[in-house]
Structure 1
Amino acid sequence: MFCDHAIDISHVMNRAIHIASLHISCGGKVQFRSRSICKLISSSSSSSQVSSNSASQVGHGPNNLQNKTGPVQIMLHRMTKNKLRPKKMASLESLNFDNLVLRSLPIDSVEEIQPRQVKGACFSKMKLSPVANPDTVAVSSSALRLLDLDEEQWQRAEFAEYFGGNKLLPGSQLAAHCYCGHQFGYFAGQLGDGAAMYLGEVVNKAGKRWEIQLKGSGLTPYSRQADGRKVLRSSIREFLCSEAMHHLGISTTRAGCCITSDTKVIRDVFYSGNPIREKATVILRIAPTFIRFGSFEIFKPLDPMSGRQGPSVGRKDILDKMLDYTIKTFYPKVYEDHPEDTGARNLAFYKEVMRLTAMLVAEWQCVGFCHGVLNTDNMSIAGATIDYGPFGFMDAYNPDHICNTSDDGGRYSYKKQPEICRWNLGKLAEAISMSLPEQEAKAELPLYDECYQRHYMEKMRKKLGLLRVAEDDDKALIESFLDTMDQTKADFTNCFRCLSQLLLPGTPGCDDAKEKILEYLVSQSCTAEELKKACKPQMDPREMQMMMMLMQVNPDLLSQLAGGHQRLLRELQKMEQAEELKDLTDAKKQETDRGKWSAWLDSYNARLTKEVTTDANFEEHNQERSKVMNANNPKFVLRNYIAQNAINAAEKGDYSEVQRVLKMLETPYSDTNDLESLAAKPSEDEGASTSTADEDSGATAGAGPSSASNQQQTSTAVKSCTGLSYDSKPPEWAANLQVT
């Protein structure tokens, strides 16, 4: 217990006895039912020595984290409220807090909450920063149940008060985490939780530990020039995507709820000089840990490129504590396998982080997910997707897709994500080099490539239904499928999903099924006008002229500005493509697309013949194949336009679309989503600005050439508030959405 984490037991127990006696004398009742605790109290009652250094180190001295939440109160809270009901669901007031990280890592002794450099500490103390009239937008029941909270609790009026940051949960201790990071390839120095606040760690009735934090909760020492707040649109996006990724089966932080308010903050959405007032909004984030690669970069010495350094340069003692805590808590098998040899332990830990990261990015690639800001401070040490900002699921497949419109150089494009995660692992190796030689760690990086390729191919074979045998040519078949999608600009999600309806060669009706798939794939390819629009140059002619001059006069300077050579090259390629496409018609485009898809289907069909055994039961094999493929190819993902429709409605005070989208995302692989219980009528002015109805989009077919019964089911069960099916090819206006 506490003795393992540098807390003076005698001091704590003496205070516990004193407070308990006062409580009882006032008519209260405290029962210590644990014999071990009774023995500790008994054996400690005569001791009075205080270890002030250790108490201040972990933030448990007289100046504790919150005036009314010291170590004694937390201990009594746990003994009297939590330990007596270990098998029951919790109430908001009886969450089983056990804030291990704050007992394990140093906390800043300065209590002032203002932007500053925080030296020699991993956390800073925080206070609540209330908002006006907190209001619950949506909750994730499955995420809240991780904390043992049920529907009765989230329907209480106090729920929004607690998770909007207005009231302190009993047992909670408030803190903000200090970390650094490489942003867009350059070391940015201290960053930290600029808009997030640690509430504590809840150990649920199953014995699992979950760290909870509020994002958008107000000013912290790491807020820099910002206000520490988040707004409704960005909060809804993170809330929905956190849950979407979990239900896709991809490791991620969770989101328990989204709470908005009447507090207003000023935001310039597109940095265009047109600020607006938006509602301050808070989300509850849940994860085993929010420690990230950047947490270990606080020890980084002066960076010659950026001229910045970490706030705790040279503090190997803190680095060793961080490694010990992280490995013991989140990689216990590694800790058990190397109880004495810290060098071997640290290397094994690094390799595990590498393995989990490789598997994570492989999962991203297989569902067309782009993170958008893969800085080292946005990389979880536990191999989870973390920090949802300008993310995006691809609509039309494009390996160079950039979901973050402020990423001018395309550093974090879809195809570069595996490479960038590897680069970030190299930076992690540098960050822990005082405890694990950098070259020794980096020598293991080829394992990342092997793990990524292995997991990616395993997943892709399932997505294409290649289940019986693994052929050397499978990689070429997968790449040719992606290449055909790229050439036709076809919808990534829907094209993968429809392949499960292709019957194995030799099955009665397989030729008809193949023809239907062909027509569907052509329908999911972009139109001539959509292609022309996608290839239209975005750069202002004057900016183009300036960059061309820089390329001739000072190419080194060009590489440092606004995306440099890569951005200029992309624009020049678009100009060439636009010229080639100016006379393209829809009829010609469809003819070309049909030829490309027909050729690929022929090669795919030839590969499927190897899936047929001599004693094949075609019905069983087709059913098995379809089941596996549909379990790996989602029908629904959080497309940007789906999130935007929910945001538009929520900003008008209607949260029903957020709730409908959440329910749809909870079963992304299902053909039978029933959203009728959350039905919402389209508003009369829907589609006037950023949303559209069926007749405006020209794309109403769901994912796959379904039967008549399934078509009817899609039209009645999986439509959004605008009337557009969630699994449809996106409406044209979706291409205009910008996320920064």
Structure 2
Amino acid sequence: MHATKRQLFLFSRQSLTDRLFHASKVKKSFTLNRLTMQLEKLNFDNLALRTLPLDKETGNRQRKVEGACFSLTSPTPVDNPTVVAVSEEALSLIDIKSASDAYTDANFADYFSGNRILPGSQTAAHCYCGHQFGHFSGQLGDGCAMYLGEIVNGKKERWEIQLKGAGKTPYSRHSDGRKVLRSTIREFLCSEAMHHLGVPTTRAGSCITSDSKVIRDLKYDGNQKLEKCTVLLRIAPTFLRFGSFEIFKPLDSVTGREGSSVGRKDVLDDLLNYTIKVFYPQIWREVSDGEEREAMLLEFYEEVLRRTAKLVAKWQCIGWCHGVLNTDNMSILGITIDYGPYGFMDSFDPGFICNSSDDGGRYSYEAQPEICRWNCLKLGEAIQMSLPLEKSKPSIKVFDEEYDKAYSHGMRQKLGLMSELDGDLDIISSLFSTMFETGCDFTNGFRAITNLLPPGLPCFKQSKEEFLSSILRQCASLEEMLAKYKPRINPMQLDFFQQLIEQQPEIAGALQSQLTIVQVEMKRQKKLESFKKMSADGKAAADRKCWSDWLDKYIQRLQQEQGEDVKAWSSRRKEIMEQHNPSIVLRNYIAQEVIEMAEEGDFSGVRNLLEVLKSPYGTNKATDESTEKETTPHASNHPVTSGTCTLHSRYTKRPPASAAGLVVS
């Protein structure tokens, strides 16, 4: 059933009445100022709700939703909403030009915490399904996110806005629909950081906390505590995802679950038409069923493959790990969505796992390209009622080709290789082997390579020695390597599984997930034993030899492409490398520092860090300031509060050893 104008009007009117009633009980003076005037004149055009089928039932009752893409629902108010931080750049996308007033405008906090409804907004939750950790989970949906509507800005760009953490929806299942301060700050900062790194992403407009609290167990170890409910404003052209199309999936033979709208080809066609017409207009054409329509759908599917391949290639090139690459966390536009237990690598490790809940390493750094490819195949299966599998499946080669091209191009840019030669992949591969063996910091390692002068310039020999000194400072100490590889499985259990693998492989094969964990642990054990045989001086000498050997290969490669004007070539090479090797990324330990400050009531760290993250590839303008910003009462405990200048200088250093102990889930 498609939405009627009366259905939408009545729901919107009811929601607004409810919110205004709540607002009347909160003793605040809603002064009409320039920001409020902009908020109340936003140009809403809620095309998705007018076009796609809506749930017949409204309200937040948990239920299976059949034959619909959205359910009209209402946010749940919070007590005393308070602005933690805003991104003025992100808010400008929806024509909010006075975002700096958000810290003093009570209306802003109420509108973007869910306490009041913006004029023209129609609140709803999106229905989708998904494969989680490789298994089909059936109906999922927006369990804590809420569509507020779509805004067409002055440039005629369409932006969907969402509140994340605004309370229960029909898809909340057993959760409370809330997000807390720590997770919301992480998503707010990383959304903006990724944008400034040049990675396609959803944007974050505001982070608003409150005095309302929910119980959380961070490490799932029984240590529960009350945490503040916090709401994030998310902005994107659309939040449609692969899982949006999995509501049509037939019964899964493994999990026994099916999509909530199984067999509804009419709804699938509505969703495909809307997605292509609005977000892929270059592909859209009015065609009837048949070969011509299938050709259009195939063109659309292949473009999704290309965008997804390019996206994951960018992740790999900046050393970033998503953490939860389920199909319901994959954007249909090829942008990064749903920031949960993500992580930027510190020391390079191809098996880097940022999500402490990912015991088997399904979503490790090195696994991301293959997982994204697998998810793309699942998307093809999801739309097979309209585009037969025999036509979509062969197109997976488009993903492979696009990924290889994007990844190799990105890595050449990071290494300043301006031409493409046969041995380049070996240079890249040997670099990562060297980084792994020495425990070299990923971000700072590439930045050190950026500062190396090529042969042919007067200071080359001096630069070579300076590079070796610099890169060795980015390598892990012997103590750090011993700590990294310390056993994570009881030795007796490991011995048991080793014997099982050797003596009864048929039984071991049936325990695939446990077997994977054991195999990883066995490799770690071998690394640990090798480091136990080393001394600190021995490791330092081995590290120097590893880097000297790689450097010789790299220099030979550079000599193959430098022309007669070495100075001009070197300058251009350095410029390209500086544009693709950030000095600043959102490391977990820095995020944790500002989270701890915010939990104490000091939001300056979040705001300062946001400013630093805006200039990841060069010197932040804040470092040129002759005076630092005024410190806060917490400055002695948190150096980050002494201003963006201090933060920038600290942030480019190798992270402390304690950073490796942070747990994110």
Tell me the TM-score normalized by structure 2: 0.92
Specify the code of the residue in structure 2 equivalent to 1:261: S
Note if contact 1:106-1:122 (Cα within 8 Å) is conserved in structure 2. Answer: yes
Q: Secondary structure at the match of 2:417?
A: coil
Matching residue of 2:83: 136
Deviations 1:622-659 (A, max 9, x none): 22111111001111000101100110111111111111
Q: CA deviation at 1:579?
A: 2.4
Deviations 1:529-553 (A, max 9, x none): 0001111111234654665577589
* 1:355-366 alignment runs, 5 A limit: 355-366=306-317
Report whether the alignment pairs 1:103 with 2:57: no
Report whether the alignment pairs 1:455 with 2:403: no
Give, in whole Å, the separation in 2 of the partners of 1:89 and 1:685: 37
* 1:173-572 alignment runs, 5 A limit: 173-336=122-285, 341-467=292-418, 469-541=419-491, 543-544=493-494, 547=497, 563-572=513-522
Query: Aligned pair in 2 of structure 1 residues 571, 322: CA closer, same or farther (>3 Å)?
Result: same
Give, in whole Å, the separation in 2 of the partners of 1:347 and 1:217: 37
Give, in whole Å, the separation in 1 of the partners of 2:223 and 2:373: 38
Specify the code of the residue in structure 2 equivalent to 1:113: N
Q: Secondary structure at the match of 1:255?
A: strand
Report whether the alignment pairs 1:157 with 2:106: yes
Name stretches of at least 5 consecutive residues in structure 2 with no aligned partner. Answer: 18-34
Give, in whole Å, the separation in 1 of the partners of 2:519 and 2:463: 42
Q: Secondary structure at the match of 1:91?
A: helix
Give, in whole Å, the separation in 2 of the partners of 1:684 and 1:441: 57
Q: Secondary structure at the match of 2:192?
A: helix
Q: Secondary structure at the match of 2:282?
A: helix
Query: Aligned pair in 2 of structure 1 residues 613, 559: CA closer, same or farther (>3 Å)?
Result: same
Matching residue of 2:558: 608
Specify the code of the residue in structure 2 equivalent to 1:442: K
Note if contact 1:203-1:209 (Cα within 8 Å) is conserved in structure 2. Answer: yes
Q: CA deviation at 1:586?
A: 1.8
Query: Aligned pair in 2 of structure 1 residues 561, 145: CA closer, same or farther (>3 Å)?
Result: farther
Matching residue of 1:73: none
Note if contact 1:409-1:562 (Cα within 8 Å) is conserved in structure 2. Answer: no
Note if contact 2:16-2:117 (Cα within 8 Å) is conserved in structure 1. Answer: no
Matching residue of 2:582: 634
Q: Secondary structure at the match of 2:448?
A: helix
Matching residue of 1:33: none
Give, in whole Å, the separation in 2 of the partners of 1:195 and 1:384: 20
Query: Aligned pair in 2 of structure 1 residues 59, 302: CA closer, same or farther (>3 Å)?
Result: farther
Report whether the alignment pairs 1:728 with 2:660: no
Give, in whole Å, the separation in 2 of the partners of 1:240 and 1:62: 36
Give, in whole Å, the separation in 1 of the partners of 2:458 and 2:608: 39
* 1:579-728 alignment runs, 5 A limit: 579-614=529-564, 616=565, 618-674=566-622, 678=629, 680=631, 683=634, 686=637, 718-720=645-647, 725-728=650-653
Give, in whole Å, the separation in 2 of the partners of 1:171 and 1:389: 30
Q: CA deviation at 1:578?
A: 2.1
Query: Aligned pair in 2 of structure 1 residues 230, 69: CA closer, same or farther (>3 Å)?
Result: closer
Q: Secondary structure at the match of 1:490?
A: coil
Deviations 1:200-257 (A, max 9, x none): 0000000000000000010011111110000000000000000000000000000001
Query: Aligned pair in 2 of structure 1 residues 89, 194: CA closer, same or farther (>3 Å)?
Result: closer
Matching residue of 2:20: none
Give, in whole Å, the separation in 2 of the partners of 1:210 and 1:472: 43
Give, in whole Å, the separation in 2 of the partners of 1:181 and 1:553: 38
Matching residue of 1:121: 68
Give, in whole Å, the separation in 2 of the partners of 1:237 and 1:207: 30
Note if contact 2:3-2:50 (Cα within 8 Å) is conserved in structure 1. Answer: no
Query: Aligned pair in 2 of structure 1 residues 62, 576: CA closer, same or farther (>3 Å)?
Result: closer
Matching residue of 1:31: none
Q: Secondary structure at the match of 1:187?
A: strand
Q: Secondary structure at the match of 1:264?
A: strand
Q: CA deviation at 1:98?
A: 0.2
Q: Secondary structure at the match of 2:341?
A: coil
Give, in whole Å, the separation in 1 of the partners of 2:574 and 2:93: 32
Question: Higher RCO, 1 or 2 (CA under 8 Å, sep at least 6)?
Answer: 2
Query: Aligned pair in 2 of structure 1 residues 557, 728: CA closer, same or farther (>3 Å)?
Result: farther
Q: CA deviation at 1:609?
A: 1.0
Note if contact 1:257-1:284 (Cα within 8 Å) is conserved in structure 2. Answer: yes
Note if contact 2:159-2:237 (Cα within 8 Å) is conserved in structure 1. Answer: yes
Give, in whole Å, the separation in 1 of the partners of 2:258 and 2:44: 35
Q: CA deviation at 1:166?
A: 0.4
Q: Secondary structure at the match of 1:414?
A: coil
Give, in whole Å, the separation in 2 of the partners of 1:443 and 1:89: 53
Tell me the TM-score normalized by structure 1: 0.83
Note if contact 1:69-1:172 (Cα within 8 Å) is conserved in structure 2. Answer: no
Note if contact 1:124-1:176 (Cα within 8 Å) is conserved in structure 2. Answer: yes
Give, in whole Å, the separation in 1 of the partners of 2:154 and 2:571: 39
Specify the code of the residue in structure 1 equivalent to 2:155: A
Specify the code of the residue in structure 2 equivalent to 1:67: Q
Note if contact 2:201-2:336 (Cα within 8 Å) is conserved in structure 1. Answer: yes
Query: Identity of counterpart residues, as a percentage?
Result: 51
Give, in whole Å, the separation in 2 of the partners of 1:212 and 1:390: 22
Q: CA deviation at 1:612?
A: 1.6
Q: CA deviation at 1:515?
A: 0.8
Q: Secondary structure at the match of 2:371?
A: helix
Q: CA deviation at 1:60?
A: 3.2
Q: CA deviation at 1:194?
A: 0.4
Query: Aligned pair in 2 of structure 1 residues 458, 556: CA closer, same or farther (>3 Å)?
Result: same
* 1:1-16 alignment runs, 5 A limit: none
Q: Secondary structure at the match of 1:444?
A: helix
Q: What is the aligned-residue RMSD (CA, Å)? A: 2.4
Give, in whole Å, the separation in 1 of the partners of 2:471 and 2:349: 16
Q: Secondary structure at the match of 2:208?
A: strand
Give, in whole Å, the separation in 2 of the partners of 1:599 and 1:682: 50
Give, in whole Å, the separation in 2 of the partners of 1:422 and 1:678: 47
Give, in whole Å, the separation in 2 of the partners of 1:594 and 1:569: 30
Query: Aligned pair in 2 of structure 1 residues 559, 68: CA closer, same or farther (>3 Å)?
Result: same
Specify the code of the residue in structure 1 equivalent to 2:309: A
Q: CA deviation at 1:475?
A: 1.1
Note if contact 2:184-2:232 (Cα within 8 Å) is conserved in structure 1. Answer: yes
Note if contact 2:42-2:94 (Cα within 8 Å) is conserved in structure 1. Answer: yes
Q: Which moved more, 1:670-679 or 1:432-441?
A: 670-679
Query: Aligned pair in 2 of structure 1 residues 234, 578: CA closer, same or farther (>3 Å)?
Result: same
Q: Secondary structure at the match of 2:421?
A: coil
Give, in whole Å, the separation in 2 of the partners of 1:61 and 1:577: 62
Note if contact 2:285-2:296 (Cα within 8 Å) is conserved in structure 1. Answer: no
Larger radius of gyration: 1
Specify the code of the residue in structure 1 equivalent to 2:573: R
Note if contact 1:656-1:680 (Cα within 8 Å) is conserved in structure 2. Answer: no
Give, in whole Å, the separation in 2 of the partners of 1:352 and 1:481: 32
Matching residue of 1:43: none
Aligned length: 640
Note if contact 1:194-1:221 (Cα within 8 Å) is conserved in structure 2. Answer: yes
Specify the code of the residue in structure 2 equivalent to 1:730: P
Give, in whole Å, the separation in 1 of the partners of 2:294 and 2:321: 35
